[in-house]
């Protein structure tokens, strides 16, 4: 940039010379100020050496000023080309020459460089080079005036007769000026006071956010013994979202598997982090309590800490700013300078002028806008206009806006470039994770009403209640209501009322009244809770009585209008009331335009039951009680009813059940369910109800176990204490009912069942372990177990009391970080660990009887295997995803008959030699990705009967080596072997064959496999003709789940002992034709 460089040099020199001229000319007469600087130096210094030194100092000052201006020119107006910038600099030099910078001018501006710059700009005509050039001119001239003023104030006062003596003080002038300029703030349009404080303030602000927002407090939840506040960063869980106008699904009843196992993301949905990671602008919609505000707080805290990972890792470095729209209820929204006021007002006063604008301009701004729905309707369009103007000014910032769906449809911000996502109800796995994380986060609660180590007991007790009372899990489909359950469970010391009526009453109180009131959210319509419930009951009853899940908005409006006509003191129209309930209640919603439904089906049933009782429609309840969609309404109607109505309802149900018929047992189960919601049994009905319970206990199905367990102790007291008289399935379901009821008495009963050795019974006893203290349950119920599965890390500590276990399967939800638990299990013979995250196998040496070890590693580094040498009985070893320094440990394991390993991607020296010396192997499983497995390792394996290879290279060589070595090979799995010639398999008489090869088309070479019992074809999409298999006399199982849709099963007709395995949705031809002779299994 030679033109710009020359102009910068001229500008720096101009400022330095002007300052020195003012000093040398005693800063008085205009004529002297305008004299040539060379003449002034000669007249000011009679000593030639002193004059030369002064000239050198002058040059240093000019260079310092030039450097400062150069940085400013590089940063500002990068769209201007070099010529334009040079022209601007020359205009600035000319302006400095013409400007009045005398003592009088300086003192008239109070020695304030900003004021002086304004006066200079006002006194000189604009250069009119162009809009951008003129703005750059103003910035540079103001900067030059700032520098010049600072210099003039720092120069020594001139005394003509002491000029020579002052030279000693001048020797450090250049250095002093450089230090002065370094301290002066770098002036820009965006930083009128400079940027020197930006980094310090940003650190302070982010630290404040990290602390202040890392807390979740439940609004509207009545607890008596503590204040439910948790750490957000600990309690937060990721949620699912769907795109656009995807209709939110209705929460479903939970199963034990869903509460204790892993679960994939729902079809059509994705995790919220993935959705956010794809768009800088996001409108996030969700129903009441779905976690919108909590998500924004988590984004703010995580951004403040720079802790994003995965799909959001690109957000690290962002500076979050949160605007709560309910704090701007007048419809006037903050300018950037006010973005900190809602959540960081305590530190906003320290903010450097223009800091927010600079952050937004840099593209690092993360604006979090919470609660469009919390504004009055008339103010919501202004939000869109506000955001549009902000994005015009700062197009590179990130923005996340939240709203309930009733306030903003998916396209509400589409014109502004926003993507839209809808928060989905929590999956059962989400719910389980939230319960776990909530209790972990509560450990640091200052008002915790119990010892921290007791929280686990509250957690497992709540999970048990949710499994035995599925309605709890259905209602707790949002983070708000799930956290409410956790808080109430802790406050009441796990004694949540068995009667769900009180729970629903608390839910409605939270949603309809307390939450908005405590958050100070107002609305145009103000109804008291009883008025809201009266209207909602009628809507719920209409849905139930018509057997529908939703109403048209017009029908709902008509219903509301009819109710309002009967109400006193009602100044609002039906339309206003319905819109208010849709906006603020969290009970009803508009999932698609023009259709109304209830957010929680069980709340709908509770409200409908209340209306049924109010209308005294007992006959309707009795008539329809056998229908699935009416069962819960009838059960809760019994809870709403009192006196005469309750007795009529129960009597009608019992009378109808006594008539017999296919619905009799179902009706008796409804009667049993009513015992959950009623406080007392009506006079004259106790004996009949006892007889009713006797006919439904023990349960026959898992569904019945849930229904009966919800009743609680009334059922527990009637369960048999001895299982010996029951068939295995009935006994197992009795155990399940017992642990679902939960509690100390149920634990006593389970301990009595522990001696039953039947497999199904033992499996249910293990399932119950989830819902009790790990150690107490292990000691009292599982102490005699010889085979055990551990599905959760939490349960590992219970193994200290299970010394009789011989076969252990550790399938925990998180990687296992220590094998110390094995010290208490000296008799263990078989161990499977699904995910092990340790650097060594230390701990296994405590199990000298161990014969089988199967481990999948979860750490990338080398695995220490020295402990294996101390297992004299070990003959079955599999170590997947494990890396080793070498394989010499195999030489010290001479008894191995089964071995599974990941081989390394190198062959230095005799690395694989120890493997080739395993001559007693009968089953071998090897994985080497895409590298060949040396055939010579098989030359001594004469006993090998089963081989599995995961590799895409060298398979044919391995098969030929095996042919020379053994004639005993019976099982072969070739996974990923694309270069396979099936004719090579004719060398062996196989009973089991698995081929995973997308290139296989023709199965003709398999016709000679007369002993083949099982054939699997995973990833064999090109196979289309099964005719070659029709003549295989021994084939019993054919797995076609990996072939393409449309394959013809016709050639298999007549193979009467064959089972064909297909995927659930897999399409095939001639399925009905072959069903007469072969079995089809869809897994």
Q: Cα separation of 619 and 613, whole Å?
A: 11
Q: 138-166: string of b/e by CB count within 10 Å (b at 16+)?
A: bbbbbbbbbbbbbbbeebeebeeeebeeb
Query: Which range is least confidently modeled, 41-55, 300-314, 814-828, 937-951?
Result: 41-55
Place of tokens 């309690």: 235
Token reading at 371: 């609660």
Model confidence band, residue 820 (pLDDT cutoffs 50, 70, 90): very high
408 close to 372: Cβ distance less than 8 angstroms: yes
Residue with the larger pLDDT of the pair 361 and 51:
361
- What mean pLDDT, rounded, does the chain reach? 82
Q: Helix, strand, coil: what percent of the chain each, to 5?
A: 50, 10, 40
CA distances from 449 to 223, 371, 557 (A): 11, 33, 47
The 3-state DSSP class for residue 349 equals coil
Determine whether 1009 is exposed, middle or buried from the number of CB atoms within 10 Å of its CB (0-12, 13-18, 19+). buried
Tens of pLDDT, residue by residue over 908-919, are 656 788 988 998
552 close to 560: Cβ distance less than 8 angstroms: no
The 3-state DSSP class for residue 747 equals helix
403 forms bridges with which residues in the sheet? Answer: 285
DSSP string covering 711-728: TTHHHHTTS-S--TTS-H
Give backbone dihedrals phi and psi of 855, rounded to 5 degrees, phi first.
Answer: -135, 135
Query: Which range is least confidently modeled, 333-347, 559-573, 732-746, 1011-1025?
Result: 559-573
Q: Give which of 285, 369, 383 is closest to 591, Cα–Cα.
A: 285
Model confidence band, residue 874 (pLDDT cutoffs 50, 70, 90): very high
Q: Cα separation of 755 and 303, whole Å?
A: 55
Report pTM: 0.64
872 close to 847: Cβ distance less than 8 angstroms: no
- Residue 340 neighbours by CB under 8 Å, 6+ apart: 205, 321, 347, 348, 351, 356
Model confidence band, residue 223 (pLDDT cutoffs 50, 70, 90): low
Q: Would you give the DSSP letter of residue 316?
A: T
Token reading at 491: 């406050």
The pLDDT of residue 259 is 39
Determine whether 809 is exposed, middle or buried from the number of CB atoms within 10 Å of its CB (0-12, 13-18, 19+). middle
Residue with the larger pLDDT of the pair 104 and 25:
104
The pLDDT of residue 667 is 95
Give backbone dihedrals phi and psi of 1016, rounded to 5 degrees, phi first.
Answer: -120, 135
The pLDDT of residue 264 is 38
Model confidence band, residue 32 (pLDDT cutoffs 50, 70, 90): very low
The pLDDT of residue 248 is 46
Q: Which long-range contacts (CB under 8 A, 24 or more apart) does 872-881 make?
A: 872/848, 873/829, 873/848, 873/849, 874/850, 875/851, 876/830, 876/851, 876/852, 877/852, 877/853, 878/853, 878/854, 878/925, 879/853, 879/855, 880/855, 880/856, 880/927, 881/856, 881/857
Q: Cα separation of 1012 and 320, whole Å?
A: 64
Tens of pLDDT, residue by residue over 1055-1080, are 989 999 998 778 899 988 888 889 99
The pLDDT of residue 251 is 44
- Reported as half-sphere exposure (CB side, CA atoms, 13 A), residue 320 has a value of 32
Q: Cα separation of 701 and 722, whole Å?
A: 19
Model confidence band, residue 29 (pLDDT cutoffs 50, 70, 90): very low
Token reading at 1015: 């054939």
The pLDDT of residue 1049 is 93
429 close to 240: Cβ distance less than 8 angstroms: no
The pLDDT of residue 521 is 64
Tens of pLDDT, residue by residue over 107-164, are 677 667 777 878 888 888 878 777 677 777 888 888 888 877 776 666 554 334 334 4
Length reported for the chain: 1083
The 3-state DSSP class for residue 23 equals helix
Over range 540-562, report the average pLDDT: 88
Token reading at 383: 């939000």
The pLDDT of residue 654 is 96
Q: Cα separation of 254 and 610, whole Å?
A: 25
DSSP string covering 534-590: HHHHHHHHHHHHHT-S-EEHHHHHHHHHHHHHT-SS--S-HHHHHHHIIIIISSEEE
Tens of pLDDT, residue by residue over 328-342, are 888 889 999 999 998
- 541: pLDDT strictly greater than 60: yes
* Cα dihedral value 102, 103, 104, 110, nearest 10: 120
Model confidence band, residue 31 (pLDDT cutoffs 50, 70, 90): very low
Strand 229-230 relative to strand 216-217, pairing: antiparallel
Cα Dmax for the chain: 131
Model confidence band, residue 693 (pLDDT cutoffs 50, 70, 90): very high
The pLDDT of residue 178 is 60
Determine whether 938 is exposed, middle or buried from the number of CB atoms within 10 Å of its CB (0-12, 13-18, 19+). buried
Tens of pLDDT, residue by residue over 489-530, are 787 777 666 667 877 887 787 777 655 655 666 667 778 888
Counting residues of the chain whose pLDDT is more than 90, the rounded percentage is: 34
Strand 876-880 relative to strand 852-857, pairing: parallel
Place of tokens 């924004």: 296
Strand 270-271 relative to strand 971-975, pairing: unpaired
The pLDDT of residue 37 is 43
The 3-state DSSP class for residue 796 equals helix
Q: Give which of 1052, 956, 971 is closest to 1009, Cα–Cα.
A: 971
Tens of pLDDT, residue by residue over 339-362, are 999 888 888 888 888 899 999 999
Query: Which range is least confidently modeled, 85-94, 445-454, 699-708, 1036-1045?
Result: 445-454
Model confidence band, residue 77 (pLDDT cutoffs 50, 70, 90): low
Q: Cα separation of 1047 and 1043, whole Å?
A: 8
Residue with the larger pLDDT of the pair 892 and 451:
892
Tens of pLDDT, residue by residue over 672-689, are 999 988 888 898 899 999
DSSP string covering 193-221: T-STTHHHHHHHHHHHHHHHSS-EE-SS-
Domains and CATH numbers, the chain: 2-189 (no CATH), 201-460 (3.40.50.300), 523-608 (1.10.10.10), 616-696 (no CATH), 722-784 (no CATH), 997-1083 (3.80.10.10)
The pLDDT of residue 934 is 81
- Residue 976 neighbours by CB under 8 Å, 6+ apart: 950, 951, 952, 996, 997
Token reading at 250: 């209705």
Token reading at 9: 């040099």
Q: Cα separation of 355 and 190, whole Å?
A: 8
62 close to 16: Cβ distance less than 8 angstroms: yes
The pLDDT of residue 668 is 95
Q: Cα separation of 342 and 322, whole Å?
A: 7
The pLDDT of residue 161 is 35
Over range 1035-1045, report the average pLDDT: 92
Q: Is the peptide bond before 698 cis (omega within 30 degrees of 0)?
A: yes
Q: Cα separation of 982 and 998, whole Å?
A: 13
Residue with the larger pLDDT of the pair 18 and 731:
731
Q: Cα separation of 954 and 717, whole Å?
A: 67
DSSP string covering 270-313: EEHHHHHHT-SEEEEE--TTSSHHHHHHHHHHHHHHT---GGGG
Query: Which range is least confidently modeled, 278-287, 813-822, 972-981?
Result: 972-981
Over range 397-408, report the average pLDDT: 88
The pLDDT of residue 247 is 46
Tens of pLDDT, residue by residue over 253-290, are 444 334 344 343 444 578 888 889 888 999 998 876 77
The pLDDT of residue 738 is 93
Counting residues of the chain whose pLDDT is more than 70, the rounded percentage is: 83
């Amino acid at each position: 940039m030679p033109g710009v460089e020359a102009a910068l040099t001229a500008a720096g020199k101009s400022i330095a010379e002007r300052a020195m001229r003012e000093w040398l000319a005693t800063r008085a007469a205009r004529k002297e100020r305008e004299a040539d600087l060379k003449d002034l130096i000669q007249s000011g210094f009679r000593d030639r050496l002193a004059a030369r030194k002064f000239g050198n100092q002058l040059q240093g000052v000019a260079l310092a000023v030039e450097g400062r201006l150069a940085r400013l020119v590089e940063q500002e107006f990068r769209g201007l080309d070099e010529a334009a910038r040079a022209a601007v600099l020359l205009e600035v030099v000319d302006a400095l020459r013409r400007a009045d910078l005398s003592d009088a001018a300086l003192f008239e501006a109070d020695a304030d460089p900003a004021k002086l710059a304004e006066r200079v700009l006002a006194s000189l005509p604009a250069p009119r080079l162009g809009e951008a050039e003129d703005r750059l001119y103003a910035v540079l001239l103001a900067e030059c005036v700032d520098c010049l003023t600072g210099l003039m104030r720092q120069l020594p006062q001139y005394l003509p007769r002491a000029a020579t003596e002052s030279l000693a003080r001048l020797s450090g002038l250049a250095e002093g000026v450089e230090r002065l300029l370094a301290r002066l703030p770098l002036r820009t349009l965006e930083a009128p006071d400079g940027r020197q404080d930006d980094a310090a303030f940003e650190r302070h602000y982010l630290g404040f956010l990290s602390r202040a927002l890392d807390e979740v407090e439940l609004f509207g939840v009545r607890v008596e013994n503590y204040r439910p506040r948790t750490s957000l960063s600990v309690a937060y869980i990721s949620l699912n979202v769907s795109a656009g106008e995807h209709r939110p699904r209705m929460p479903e009843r939970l199963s034990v598997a869903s509460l204790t196992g892993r679960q994939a993301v729902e079809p059509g949905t994705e995790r919220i982090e993935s959705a956010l990671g794809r768009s800088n602008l996001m409108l996030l919609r969700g129903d009441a309590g779905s976690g919108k505000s909590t998500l924004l707080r988590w984004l703010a805290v995580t951004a403040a800490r720079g802790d994003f990972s995965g799909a959001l890792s690109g957000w690290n470095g962002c500076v979050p700013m949160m605007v709560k729209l309910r704090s701007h209820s007048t419809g006037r929204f903050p300018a950037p300078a006010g973005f900190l006021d809602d959540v960081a007002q305590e530190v906003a006063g320290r903010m450097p002028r223009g800091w927010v604008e600079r952050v937004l301009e840099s593209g690092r701004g993360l604006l979090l806008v919470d609660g469009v729905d919390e504004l009055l309707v008339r103010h919501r369009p202004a939000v869109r206009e506000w955001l549009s103007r902000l994005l015009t000014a700062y197009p590179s910032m990130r923005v996340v806006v939240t709203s309930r769906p009733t306030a903003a449809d998916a396209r509400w911000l589409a014109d502004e470039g926003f993507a839209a996502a809808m928060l989905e109800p929590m999956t059962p796995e989400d719910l389980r994770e939230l319960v776990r994380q909530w209790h972990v986060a509560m450990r640091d609660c200052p008002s915790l009403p119990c010892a921290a180590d007791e929280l686990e007991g509250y957690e497992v007790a709540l999970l048990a209640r949710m499994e035995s009372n599925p309605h709890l899990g259905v209602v707790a489909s949002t983070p708000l209501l799930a956290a409410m359950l956790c808080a109430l469970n802790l406050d009441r010391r796990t004694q949540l009322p068995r009667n769900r009526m009180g729970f629903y009453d608390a839910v409605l109180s939270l949603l309809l009244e307390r939450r908005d009131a405590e958050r100070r959210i107002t609305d145009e319509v103000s109804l008291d809770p009883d008025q809201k419930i009266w209207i909602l009951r009628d809507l719920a009853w209409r849905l139930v009585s018509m057997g529908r899940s939703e109403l048209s908005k017009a029908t709902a409006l008509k219903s509301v209008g009819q109710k309002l006509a009967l109400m006193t003191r009602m100044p609002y129209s039906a339309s206003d009331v319905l819109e208010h309930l849709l906006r603020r209640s969290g009970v009803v919603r508009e999932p698609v335009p023009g259709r109304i439904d209830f957010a929680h089906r069980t709340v709908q049933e509770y409200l409908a039951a209340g209306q049924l009782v109010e209308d005294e429609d007992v006959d309707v309840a009795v008539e329809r009680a056998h229908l699935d969609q009416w069962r819960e309404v009838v059960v809760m109607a019994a809870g709403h009813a009192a006196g005469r109505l309750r007795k009529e309802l129960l009597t009608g149900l019992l009378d109808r059940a006594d008539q017999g018929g296919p619905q009799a047992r179902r009706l008796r189960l409804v009667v049993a369910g009513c015992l959950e919601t009623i406080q007392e049994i009506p006079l004259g009905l106790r004996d009949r109800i006892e007889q009713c319970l006797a006919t439904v206990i023990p349960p026959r199905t898992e569904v019945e176990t849930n229904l009966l367990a919800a009743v609680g102790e009334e059922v527990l007291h009637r369960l048999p204490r001895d299982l010996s008289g029951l068939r295995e399935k009935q006994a197992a379901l009795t155990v399940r009912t017992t642990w679902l009821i939960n509690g100390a008495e149920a634990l006593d009963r389970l301990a009595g069942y522990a001696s039953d050795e039947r497999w199904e019974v033992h499996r249910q006893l293990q399932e119950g372990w989830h819902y009790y203290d790990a150690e107490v349950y292990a000691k009292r119920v599982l102490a005699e177990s010889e085979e055990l599965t551990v599905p959760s890390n939490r349960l590992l500590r219970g193994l200290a009391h299970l010394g009789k276990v011989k076969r252990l399967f550790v399938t925990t939800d998180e990687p296992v970080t220590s094998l110390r638990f094995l010290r208490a299990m000296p008799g263990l013979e078989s161990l499977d660990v699904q995910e092990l995250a340790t650097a060594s196998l230390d701990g296994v040496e405590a199990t000298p009887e161990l014969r089988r070890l199967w481990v999948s590693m979860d750490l990338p580094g080398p695995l220490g295997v020295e402990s294996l040498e101390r297992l004299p009985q070990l003959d079955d070893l599999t170590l997947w995803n494990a890396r080793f320094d070498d394989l010499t440990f195999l030489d010290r394991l001479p008894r191995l008959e089964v071995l599974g390993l990941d081989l390394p991607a190198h062959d230095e020296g005799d690395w694989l030699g120890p493997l080739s010396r395993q001559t007693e192997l009968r089953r071998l499983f090897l994985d080497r990705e895409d590298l060949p497995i040396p055939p010579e390792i098989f030359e001594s394996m004469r006993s090998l009967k089963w081989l599995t290879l995961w590799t895409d290279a060298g398979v044919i060589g391995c098969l030929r080596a095996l042919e020379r070595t053994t004639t005993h090979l019976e099982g072969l799995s070739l996974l990923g072997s694309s270069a396979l010639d099936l004719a090579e398999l004719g060398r062996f008489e196989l009973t089991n064959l698995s081929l995973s090869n997308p290139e296989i088309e023709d199965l003709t070479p398999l016709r000679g496999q007369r002993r083949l019992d099982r054939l699997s074809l995973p990833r064999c999409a090109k196979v289309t003709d099964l005719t070659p298999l029709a003549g295989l006399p021994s084939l019993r199982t054919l797995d076609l789940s990996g072939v393409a849709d449309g394959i013809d099963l016709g050639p298999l007709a007549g193979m009467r002992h064959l089972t064909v395995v297909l995927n659930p949705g897999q399409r095939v031809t001639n399925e009905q034709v072959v069903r007469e002779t072969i079995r089809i299994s869809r897994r």
